[in-house]
Amino acid sequence: MSRIGKKPVEIPSGVTISLSKNNEVSVKGPKGELKQVIDRDIIVEINDNKVEFKRPTDQIRHRAMHGLYRSLINNMVKGVTEGYTKKLELVGVGYKAANTGNLLDLSLGYSHNILVEIPTELKISTLQEKGKNPIITLESIDKQLLGAVSAKIRSLRKPEPYKGKGVKFVGEVLRRKAGKSAGK
């Protein structure tokens, strides 16, 4: 039995969870509303401020989905109550970030600036202090969307292993390589 799948999802006060006929779970909270379609084989039971997930058999497919859907609903509950935040740091000389609304303007050492349109479900802010690396802050209630957008921004200039220049997450530890060894 899946250890994660067996664990019930606690419903905090102020959050309502409903299940529609076509197996769509809707989570509504103080920060917004999220929806997730659940596979028809997984049984969802909502009772006494808890959501429980059951699987019909021990097939590999059912075991895989059991824990998956429990984690997705748990992330949705946490998202509508607390929300999620990701911070990206631009390391490199002349690297800049600015935003106007949901349009992110990045200067990452290429011959031209890169414009990235951020979905409206995300809140974005940029911070550029003198003597420090620029920081991009993304906030959302949807963990999946937040991770996908932050990974897309990071992929525009991944950190290189020699000097560590590029776009990295705040607190991310990079594996560094030694440079060329000195001559004879």
Per-residue pLDDT of the chain (184 residues; tens, 9 = 90+): 468 888 999 999 999 999 998 889 999 999 999 999 999 999 999 988 999 999 999 999 999 899 999 999 999 999 999 999 999 999 999 999 999 999 999 999 999 999 999 999 999 999 999 999 999 999 999 999 999 999 999 999 999 999 999 999 999 999 999 888 765 5
For residue 53, give every residue at least 6 positions away whose Cβ sits within 8 Å of its Cβ, in sequence order, or none.
5, 42, 43, 44, 45, 66, 69, 70, 73
- Domain definitions of the chain by residue range: 3-81, 84-169
Q: Do domains 3-81 and 84-169 have the same CATH topology?
A: yes
Task: Confirm or reject CATH 3.40.50.920 for domain 84-169, answering yes or no.
Answer: no
Superfamily of domain 3-81: Ribosomal protein L6 (3.90.930.12)
Instruction: Indicate the pTM of the whole model.
Output: 0.88
Backbone phi, then psi, for 128, in 5-degree steps?
-135, 100
